[in-house]
Amino acid sequence: MTKRILVVEDNDLNRKLFCDVLLAGGFDVEPVADGNMALERARGFAPNLVVMDIQLQDVSGLDLIASMKGDAQLCEVPVLAVTAYAGKGDEERIRELGAEGYLSKPVSIGPFMAAVRGLVGS
């Protein structure tokens, strides 16, 4: 069965890149540009992984991760956090909120796909 990945990214180019690479990797992908729609879309799409931008325009990716991990339907879905703001202590803070993976932007395709495959088990 094809693994499903929800991509929450408000930057059009990054979202397209992530989705294109994941589709080429054989995944079923659901893009979300508006962070406010992320939880609702996740419940409907039932992803095997969420790729979560941390710096979203309308809502913090950190808040979305915390909300997902507190949601009975979504709490078991692994999260790969992707952020351009990779300061000291950021990865630790993001992982403490429940993200199972962490990558800093700019993201290279090889490490991105390795992280995705490591989290979805394919």
Burial class of 113 by CB neighbour count within 10 A (0 to 12, 13 to 18, 19+):
middle
- Res 122: pLDDT: 61
- Residue 76 inside a domain? The answer is yes
Structure tokens at 110: 């090889």
CATH number at residue 66: 3.40.50.2300
Domains of the chain: total: 1
pLDDT tens digits, 29-45: 999 999 999 999 999 99
E-assigned strand segments in the chain: 4-8, 28-32, 49-53, 79-83, 101-104
The pTM of the full predicted model, rounded to 2 decimals, is 0.96
- Residue 115 inside a domain? The answer is no
Integer Rg of the chain from CA: 13
- Residue 103 inside a domain? The answer is yes
- CA gap 118, 51 in Å, rounded: 13
- Residue 24 inside a domain? The answer is yes
- Residue 32 inside a domain? The answer is yes
The parent domain of residue 43 ranges over 4-107
pLDDT band at 87 (very low <50, low <70, confident <90, very high): confident
- CA gap 2, 120 in Å, rounded: 11
- Residue 113 inside a domain? The answer is no
- Residue 30 inside a domain? The answer is yes
- Residue 121 inside a domain? The answer is no
